[in-house]
Amino acid sequence: MTAQDLSESHFGGPSTKSDIFPYPNRGVMKTDILFSSPMIRFSRSQKEAILAWGRDMGAKDVPSLYGLENFQTSALHAVGDPTEKVEASSGNIFYMNSIYQALAHDYSHPEARTKMRLYPEFSETGIEEVWQASKWLVDAPDSVLTPMTRINGKDYFVNELVLCTDNLWFVPTRFFEFRGALWAKGRRAVETEHGLLVAEEPSVQPCSTFHRPWPEVQACLSDLPCIFAPPSQHFAQNMPHPDRQLAGGLEIECPPIIVFVDDVSGNTSKQWNVHYSAYMSNATLPRADLEKSANVHFIATSPHASPMEIIRAICEAVRKGSTTPFKVWDSVKKRHILFRPWILFLPGDNPMQAEMCSHIGLKGNHFCRMCHCGGDQKYKASDEGFTSLMTPGRARSVSETREAITSQLVMATHAAAEKPLKAAISASGVKDSFATPLLNLLIAKGKILRRATPTRKALNPELVNKQLYDKLMKNTGKPMCNPLLDMDGLNVHLDTPVEALHTHLLGVVKYFWAQTVWILEKKGRFADFQARLNSLSRIGLKVPNIMADYMCRYRGSLIGKHFKTISQIMAFAVCGLVDEVMQNAWLAIGRLTVLIWETKITDIKAFAKELREVIEETIDFAASLSPGLLTEKNKFHILAHLPDHVERFGPALLFSTERYESFNHIFRLCSIHSNRQAPSRDIARTFANQERCRHMVTGGYWQDKTSGDWVRASSAVLQHIANNPIDARLIGILPEKSPIPGDMTLLPLPPRVRGRPPPQHPVISWAQTESARLQPSIPSLPGRWHPAGSVIALNGDSAPVGAEVIVRSDAMGPSALNSFASIVEVLLSTSPSTSPSWVIVRDSILSPETHSDLKMPVINRTGSLRAVRPEDIICVINVQHDCITGRCTSSGTEHIRQEREQSIRTRQVVKHTASTFFVINVTSLHNQRHLRNTLPPRLLKQNPFFEDRSRLHLRAAQSLRDTKLQKKLAREAQVRRNAELALRNSVANSSHADFLGISTESVGTTGDEFGGTAPGSHMPVPSCHACSSIGHPDSSISAPRGPRQKKGARATRSAAPWVPPAPAMNGDEPREGRRSESSSSRRAVTISNMGTAPSTISPAPPRKRKRPARADPESSAAREALFRGSLQNHQEIDLNGDVTPQGLTAMIGIYMRHQRPCGMMEPSGNTHTREIYQEFARTQSRKYGLSGAQVTEVLAFSELSPVMMLIDLKIHQIRTENDFLHRFIRVFVRHPDFGTHLRHSVAAALLAPRIPAYVDGLNGQFTAYLEDNAEALLGIPESQKSDPADWSLVKTAIGIELANQRSGMRAKVCPCPLNHTVPVS
């Protein structure tokens, strides 16, 4: 039954002409196209509603949904149902569409088949396709390439002897195209008396000279005893080629494919619904066709299976074709052929590519999937390690990775292999997705076997190793290794190319963008930067909009298209706002983006060298600005491998993933209408139906199941798609409508006024043109014209008035070069037959030197006007106003358009001056080739930014190490500050009055100890409030404020009368949160009633400002002399923190006599003022490179009294000792010596006759015993036993060691049956 019969059986006889094959009528065709569209997806209820609406409106030939689905199912079986079920070794089930069917559709579709290239090409003009690059042309093994060619009805295979027309013997090894003809690479053979001698050196031969293939040669030379001479006898072993018999008279072709795997959400909402999906592209198609969504084929998806399980299914399908080639219909040759696909490369993001390479990923120490670069953080910060991050290291190999996986599996069969296995994975960077579950299983089983149970004892290591090895051998039938490591023609470490979207745009550009934004915000220039972005010209960039406000508002959430725009214009936006290094960094990034997006490479060696130099410069800028980026962000090193991949596969756009990322939108549309019961099957069938419909209505062939003939849709169906762009877009076919060079677009008409005739386009003569007004001396042109707004350039660009263009040299003479000019006016002729249309341009004068800051060519729009033909406009380029020379400012404003209307809201923009200097944007991607061909080479040459790269790297490595040390010290300082704050808060919340540790029991109460003051009497009260509380019998120690206590808040007062506290040193109240308040004012305490009773701690009441009183110079001098004399008597002060009563008394007396009225200067004889102390502190802090927070703390410390300084230092000393001991105990417990001492102690205790072994409570008794003798037996300081957390580590180690030795001794002493070996499954 034909497809026509199937359609008639479901829908009856056709109601229209029978040329709508295979559809019964036009209604079914239109409905099938609508419901099979990948761009618009409908649910079942929506389909029913649409069909019901059509019937109710009286439309003809509206099918039922049931009938339409039956037709689609029958048509899918006729064309070929590609969906098949796959069950992974883990038990996961998913569905995939056959790779064979996807390629078969391309072969049976005439339009696609004519574009397919089955042989590599040696191109003399440049590289722009994958078949022109080295992987397919040179590096791919002969076994995966097309092994034969058919010439004049004769089949010639590789490795077979061929007789050429000039009686030349030739043995081809591979075929390739050169200058539009097919050539062969191989070895020539010469006749000798002993037979044919094959040359060692390879040569090339045009296939048009082939005369006789091997079967004919063998028949002619059958009477000879030996065809080849003895040195060349091994060539005869390959003749005939094995594929000759396999082909059976059919041609064999080997098209390469591109496989992409990624994780994508199956939801359109923000909820993550992970599906691992695989897509495929036919690598024999040109790059322009590969970018179309119609040529991206869905393979498989699953929310359950892992990506490597999907990859394994793909590899098995490819291997199946290598043994049994697939048979397809060639729509161009009109005959069956055999094809055998192979994988060319695997694009993807870095995590997915690392998994395909059996690599640990970017987070590992050896983070690169292509080389062995990397190491631990200490090595990366060293001079050698930091420098190694700049360039590719020793390349990885497939055999080396396979051996590493095998060694890991063998290592896992040993007892206690967990730590060595982790170390081996970290050291090699090899981590296989298939081997990891088995490794975890073996490690877990080994732990179980080494642990004793109530039914058996722990197995010894030999038995554990044996059982683990047997377990490994039982899994040999299951996949234990990455299948990509065994694919012919695929080297996963070389064929996972660096992807520009994730590595460059979402990597390098994103990192520099974040750092630039941080700098601009820190300097307060971000508003100026946003104004510049809003003022940049987008003419010639070929971007819809710069979106400056959006990028600045959501600067932390940008995507690839934003960074692609940023890399082209950032050098202009930040010029003058950042330093020179950052400015030059954006120039290097812009140049790098241009090279990555190059579509055609003329000289691959020169291009790869330039690309490598620009990448090195970009990495050097990262090392100069932020060395930590290179150790934390590994994409810089990954980018260094890009030149090698460009040489291997061609321009970087060929292995870009943007086409597949865009295809994810179609995948989500197919996913959201699934009932989630069988998502993999539903999505696969949906894609199969979409490709079936597209194949049928666009002219693809399929085989009639009854007659066996290959048929296609009728011409009426093909014409319908050609003449209906809406239906063409529905099935993913975008009509190619190229603009016509020279076409002009008129200026928009003013709105029509009611009651008046419609406005008309004005008609002007030459005298009325703007050009005649600007330059009256220009020769007038005859004719009448309409003023136009833009003209189509030769390359299809729309060139508006004011745009900078490249004008063809023919307009100025045959010997002139292409030149730059700006469009002044566009004139559309009213009568093209009598007078032509013209474009009036002003020549731009190119400056001999580049811009001093931007390093780009500069033009001056001061040339004369001239008229050129529209066909002489080659293209539009992007230029930006030279705001540096013109001294433009960000003082302008413009109204913001909202809802297509001009609102009253304004934004800041750059107000350009009348300067005629403009800078050519050489970092723009559009028309880069025309720009390079027009500019002189001297203006394109960029001098290196760094002359001594080695010195830069060493300096950056040293800076990195210093930064890490400063961060470590800063973290430790923060820990100390937090502890001090907690200590002060705990003291403030306590009721203990002896804040300095001084009590009446330890300090004498005689008046001599307080400078001669009589017992019980009051000390002299100074005249300032800073000292008014000192010595007062009823004064209290003012406590620091708590973290939630507001400044000036009152708390519960003590019973003693309140004494006003001291104001700040500058007479103002200290601000809350300042370091000086936390370090100085919070430490200020009042000592009162030393000789009678302890004082009370209470929060400070609100302070009142009061003018400081004058101090008596004589009393000040006396106090200073007493202060200095007492300091000299230092023998009473124990610097280790133990203060004798005499020394403490002296210090307190010094403290009391040293206080002076606030605001009073030192006596004239004393030069050590507060300002001098603080200046000295600042100088020393700068000398030793202290941070800002550390300098503030030092300044606050310098304002303390000597007693407070000693107390603060003592607290720091004790805390440092505690912190050291806290770290020491953790290191000590892990040390082998501790284990040895503990083992000996436990063994001695177990063997001691007086210890009741094997009874309950042994662990507790022995732990208590060791706790009492910790320092003597284990070497643990006694002070550490007071910390429960530290001692718990020791108790755990004791318990483990005790259990191990008890188990071993019990196995040797007790001969019970339970100790016999019990095998564990």
Residue 1308 has a pLDDT of 59
Q: Which of 277, 275, 361 shows the shortest CA–CA distance to 97?
A: 277
Identify the burial level of 1240 via C-beta atoms within 10 angstroms of its C-beta, where 0-12 means exposed, 13-18 middle and 19 or more buried.
Answer: exposed
Helix (H), strand (E), coil (C) string for 637-687: HHHCCHHHHHHHHCCHHHHCCHHHHHHHHHHHHHHCCCCCCCHHHHHHHHH
Residue 1274 has a pLDDT of 73
Residue 974 has a pLDDT of 84
Residue 1237 has a pLDDT of 74
**Could you report the average pLDDT of every consecutive run of 10 residues in the chain (1321 residues)?**
48 50 92 93 93 93 93 93 92 94 95 94 92 94 92 92 90 93 92 87 92 89 81 86 90 95 86 90 94 94 93 93 89 94 94 94 92 91 92 93 93 89 92 92 90 85 89 84 92 94 94 95 94 93 89 93 94 93 95 94 93 95 92 93 95 93 91 84 94 94 88 92 91 83 91 86 92 89 92 93 89 65 94 90 94 94 93 94 92 90 91 94 94 91 88 90 83 82 67 38 37 38 37 36 38 38 38 37 35 36 42 44 40 38 42 40 49 79 76 80 77 73 69 75 61 54 76 70 69 77 62 40 37
Strand 93-97: give its sheet, edge to edge.
83-87, 93-97, 296-302, 274-282, 256-265, 342-345
Q: For residues 1051 and 1099, is the Cβ–Cβ distance under 8 A? A: yes
Q: Which of 280, 252, 290, 274 shows the shortest CA–CA distance to 129?
A: 290
Angle at 1072 between CA 1066 and CA 1077, to 5 degrees: 55
Question: 131-165 burial by CB neighbour count: b if 16+ within 10 A, else e?
Answer: bbbbbbbeebeeebbbbbbeeeeebbbbbbbbbbe
How many whole angstroms separate alpha carbon 1200 and alpha carbon 1202? 6
Residue 1247 has a pLDDT of 57
Residue 1282 has a pLDDT of 64
Q: Which of 698, 696, 733 shows the shortest CA–CA distance to 718?
A: 698
Q: Which of 1086, 994, 955 shows the shortest CA–CA distance to 1032?
A: 1086
List the structure tokens of 780. Answer: 């007038």
Q: For residues 27 and 724, is the Cβ–Cβ distance under 8 A? A: no
Q: Treating both helix axes as pointing N-terminal to C-terminal, what angle do 1141-1154 and 1202-1230 enclose, rounded to 10 degrees?
A: 130
Residue 1246 has a pLDDT of 63
For residue 659, which amino acid is it? R
Angle at 1316 between CA 1310 and CA 1318, to 5 degrees: 145
Residues forming a β-bridge with 198: 189
